[in-house]
């Protein structure tokens, strides 16, 4: 297991401040038949979730990896992102050994997926323009009270045909329904997580009030949670993040439920390196992912990635890796440059 720090090419604003680097917990699993890699989606500090990169590394070292080596389960509902990283590394090793790509294993039907970019509360029209010029198919704007309708209206006026959505990260209350309804005239793909994570009733009432589709992100912690949200009509779109769901198995389960119910889904991002981004691309190639996700080029966040950089093609798409396993591997020079520490857990 490696603790890695990648410098960011631009600051990332969090609930606790501003990050200028991305700390990563990366898992390497070695078996008699080969090796596999997994990346933990947890951010630098707890806040967005209760997990964080260094904490996840400690959990994997002290609990999850030893349990796996004893023949037990490495799944831990209290640490889904740590569990997902270890499970991905194990799966990657198995798939590499058999020559099967992750995309094929999951049931992917696309060889490339449309790109999408998320812009923070500090973004302006110039940032949107740069994203459009770079070829991104979809732009997501962060919104919060005091920075919402007027700014989104200015973006829509400048780019009438841009695929545009907004993300509130739970910043509003049910009392803001009339204010948020002003977004209905701006032809948005969706509004993501407008209310608190546990407020399904509030989301249902808001979804009934708005014409703009309501999407849930942080509220979707399992396939059962997705079922409940849809049953209560709290959303009509779902964002799938494999790390938050505890791994790809649960992510595919949510996808399958939504596909059967004709509910569109898209793949969320967590500032992943090329390792985690490659896994997201395989997931986003499943047939139910009909909306562009948070799938950007490596250069969006990193001047130097752990893997060979993932880039947009001339049409603004990202290729789904087709090689065995996740289809990419960390470069030896990048590991040597960015690894801060490593721990080996043995049987």
Task: Provide the annotated active-site residues.
Answer: 142, 241
Cβ atoms of 159 and 128 closer than 8 Å: yes
DSSP-based three-state secondary structure for 100: coil
> Could you tell me which residues come within 8 angstroms of residue 331 by beta carbon, excluding any fewer than 6 positions away?
306, 307, 308
Could you give the angle at the alpha carbon of 238 between the alpha carbons of 207 and 197, nearest 5°?
70
DSSP-based three-state secondary structure for 131: helix
Supply φ then ψ for residue 83, to 5 degrees.
-60, -45
Q: How many Å apart are CA 155 and CA 121, to the nearest integer?
A: 13
Q: How many Å apart are CA 69 and CA 86, to the nearest integer?
A: 12
Cβ atoms of 43 and 106 closer than 8 Å: no
Element (H, E) at 207: helix 200-209
Q: How many Å apart are CA 292 and CA 280, to the nearest integer?
A: 12
CA-nearest of 187, 181, 182 to 157 is: 187
DSSP result, 223-272 = HHHHHHHHHTT--SEEEE-TTTTTSHHHHHHHHHHHHHTT--EEE---S-
Locate 21 and state its tokens.
């680097």
Locate 14 and state its tokens.
């969090």
Strands of 32-161, DSSP E: 34-39, 112-114, 116-119, 138-142
């Amino acid at each position: 297991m490696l603790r890695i720090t990648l410098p960011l090419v631009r600051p990332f604003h969090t609930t606790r401040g501003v990050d200028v680097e991305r700390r990563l917990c990366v898992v390497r699993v070695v078996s008699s038949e080969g090796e596999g890699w997994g990346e933990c989606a947890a951010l630098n500090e707890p806040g967005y979730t209760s997990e964080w990169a260094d904490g996840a590394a400690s959990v994997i070292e002290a609990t999850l990896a030893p349990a796996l080596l004893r023949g037990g389960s490495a799944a831990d509902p209290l640490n889904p992102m740590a569990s997902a990283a270890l499970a991905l590394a194990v799966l990657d090793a198995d798939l590499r050994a058999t020559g099967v790509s992750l995309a094929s294993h999951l049931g992917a039907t696309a060889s490339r997926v449309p790109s999408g970019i998320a812009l923070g509360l500090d973004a302006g029209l110039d940032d949107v323009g740069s994203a459009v010029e770079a070829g991104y198919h979809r732009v997501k704007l962060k919104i919060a009270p005091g920075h919402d309708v007027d700014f989104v209206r200015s973006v829509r006026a400048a780019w009438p045909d841009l695929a545009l959505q907004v993300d509130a990260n739970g910043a509003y209350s049910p009392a803001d329904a009339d204010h948020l309804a002003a977004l209905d005239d701006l032809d948005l793909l969706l509004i993501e997580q407008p209310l608190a994570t546990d407020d399904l009733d509030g989301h249902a009432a808001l979804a009934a009030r708005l014409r703009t589709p309501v999407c849930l992100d942080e509220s979707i912690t399992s396939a059962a949670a997705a079922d409940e949200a849809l049953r209560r009509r709290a959303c009509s779109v779902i964002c799938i993040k494999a790390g938050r769901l505890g791994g790809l198995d649960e992510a595919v389960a949510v996808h399958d439920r939504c596909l059967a119910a004709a509910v569109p889904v898209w793949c969320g991002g967590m500032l992943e390196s090329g390792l985690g981004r490659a896994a997201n691309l395989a997931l986003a190639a499943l047939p139910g992912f009909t909306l562009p996700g948070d799938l950007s080029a490596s250069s969006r966040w990193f001047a130097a990635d752990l893997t060979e950089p993932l880039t947009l093609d001339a049409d603004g798409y990202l290729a789904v890796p087709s090689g065995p396993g996740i289809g990419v591997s960390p470069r030896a020079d990048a590991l040597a440059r960015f690894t801060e520490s490593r721990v080996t857990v043995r049987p």
